[in-house]
Structure 1
Amino acid sequence: MPRSCQNGAEETVRVVRRRYDCLRAIVTEPREKRALVEATETPRSTLDDIVRELESAELVTYDDGVWRPTTSGRVAAETHADHRETMGDVRAAAPVVDGLPHDTPLDRAFLEGVTVHEADRALPDAVVTSILESVAGARRVRGFAPAAFVGFADRFQSEALADDGELELVMGPDLLDLLTGHADDEETAEGTTVLAGEIPVEFGLWIADDTEAGVVVYAGQGIEGVLINDSPTAVTWAEELYERVVETATLAELVPA
């Protein structure tokens, strides 16, 4: 991008950020100045400066007594709104994910529109319930885990296998031993495919069918929180990460205790 275009883009970003409320009002509905004063609750003298600044940035135009957005103004407002929403999602997830290493490959594609379940030390089962509800009723569940806890592994497997479901899990040798040692019988293990492999991240991941994905962030001997997202973009990100882990995993046999 030529430097002149880059400078112009940076200035547009500043104007949109500074004058977003007024721009949003115009994008929502083209208005005469009086109506715009009322919609933005801005003094007329101040509003004159704002709309002129928006006009100078070619985000709005004055036509037949009415302020209207330009096409680029409408797109800029929509882009800024999306950015604000994404930043809100990131901030909501921060208490759960900020304990992870800074280079953790937790992508923006997953955090946009994410539902956050932060663990409550007084009600530790509440965050586990969000995981179980996500996999309940799914025909196929895939996932990997760098850690697990006795009791939770049983419940997760039970929900994933209900109604003849299929469960495919990648886990390290220690987790394989843990899950094997707590399987109740041959029927419990049926429908489960266990893969042994290296988990290159410090969070767990699951994909319910092809419609929802979740991330489990651990904390010591418990769970810090759970993130769940059913957007196609988030599911695609989860599937790509899962496939990278599966590539180096090998089939293991789950033998009930």
Structure 2
Amino acid sequence: MPTSDTNEALEEVQIFVNSPYSMRVFEALIDGSTTGRALAEQTGASRSTVTRILNKGESQGWIDSEGSQYELTDRGETMTNEFHDYLQTVKGIRHLGEMIRFLPPPARELDPRHFRDADIITPTETNPVEPFDYLAEWIRAANKKRSLVRLAVSRFVKLIHDQSMHGQLDSESVIEASWFDTLGEEPKQIPIWQTRAERGDVLLYDGEVPISFHIIDTTVGFWLSEDDQNGVEGLVVTDDPVVVSWAKSLYEDYRDEAEPLNPTMLPEA
């Protein structure tokens, strides 16, 4: 049964959702003191609607007024900022939709609001490899790529190699070391890995890599899959600064514990 504290909290939240204009009014007041008339013009609400919102805000101690001027109190500004962040989180969750369950566990520590404008590329009936096609075009147009991955997809091994050899791509990858145990099954790729090992742009992480992503220029893309599975459900791509900074930091953490791929570790072609 809800407690009185919960009921009071819900009543305060209700202030923001009583009208589609409520949040607009409070957000407009973040910019500083203003009049009810100016708020009506800025938000598109009627004067009577703005008046009701302002009166309710004053009754809660969120708004102070002097004459025709209204401004947020410290409490009102905090409530407005926090509810704004909550709305962005909801938008992020709605935008990710069912794909949120495929987000790799490390990325789930990020607030979903940072994914609210992300591109979500999933397989389609007409193109079941759409995420792979997207990444291929992304790599072809890139200048710099840093990857933290569980495994190397054969399609991209040659593409990355060719782009790097022609001086079109600055590439480095940290790969789960155990994946190289299967390299004997792809003998045609061994010369490429030998070249990359000599170039020093591949590092092996001796342990589990719980996430696969690519930082390409100023954007990051996460592969979506079932937990502990290598099947691909899609790719989430975002240039949100918080996500990009987080991914760069995580990449460096794994890179610091990884060792360069030694050519002598590779099977003979």
Whether 1:168 and 2:172 are equivalent positions in the alignment is: yes
TM alignment of 1:63-142, pairs within 5 A:
63-65=66-68, 68-72=70-74, 73-74=76-77, 76-99=79-102, 103-108=105-110, 112-113=114-115, 114-122=117-125, 123-142=127-146
* Structure 1 residues without counterparts, runs of 5 or longer: 1-6
Whether 1:197 and 2:205 are equivalent positions in the alignment is: yes
Residue pair 1:17, 1:80 contacting (<8 A) in 2 also: no
Q: TM-score, normalised by structure 2?
A: 0.69
Number of the residue aligned with 1:218: 225
Number of the residue aligned with 2:21: 21
TM alignment of 1:175-254, pairs within 5 A:
175-176=179-180, 177-178=182-183, 181-182=188-189, 189=196, 191=199, 193-198=201-206, 200-209=208-217, 211-218=218-225, 222-253=231-262
Residue pair 2:158, 2:192 contacting (<8 A) in 1 also: no
The secondary structure found in structure 1 opposite 2:134 is helix
Residue pair 1:144, 1:206 contacting (<8 A) in 2 also: yes
Residue pair 1:202, 1:217 contacting (<8 A) in 2 also: no
User: CA 1:238/1:180 → structure 2, altered by over 3 Å: closer, same or farther?
Assistant: farther
Query: For 1:111 and 1:154, how far apart are their aligned partners in 2?
Result: 36
Residue pair 1:206, 1:214 contacting (<8 A) in 2 also: yes
Residue pair 2:39, 2:50 contacting (<8 A) in 1 also: no
Q: TM-score, normalised by structure 1?
A: 0.71
Number of the residue aligned with 1:3: none
Please say which of residues 74-83 and 184-193 is displaced more in the overlay: 184-193
Q: Aligned residue pairs: how many?
A: 247
Deviations 1:201-242 (A, max 9, x none): 443112124x22221123566421112222332222011111
Number of the residue aligned with 2:3: none
Residue pair 1:95, 1:118 contacting (<8 A) in 2 also: no
Residue pair 2:176, 2:205 contacting (<8 A) in 1 also: yes
Report the Cα offset of residue 126 of structure 1: 2.2
The secondary structure found in structure 2 opposite 1:226 is strand
Please say which of residues 234-243 and 188-197 is displaced more in the overlay: 188-197
In structure 2, what residue type is equivalent to 1:207?
I
The secondary structure found in structure 1 opposite 2:201 is strand
Query: For 1:71 and 1:221, how far apart are their aligned partners in 2?
Result: 51
Query: For 1:207 and 1:21, how far apart are their aligned partners in 2?
Result: 39
In structure 2, what residue type is equivalent to 1:21?
Y
Residue pair 2:146, 2:215 contacting (<8 A) in 1 also: yes
User: CA 1:35/1:139 → structure 2, altered by over 3 Å: closer, same or farther?
Assistant: closer
Report the Cα offset of residue 252 of structure 1: 0.8
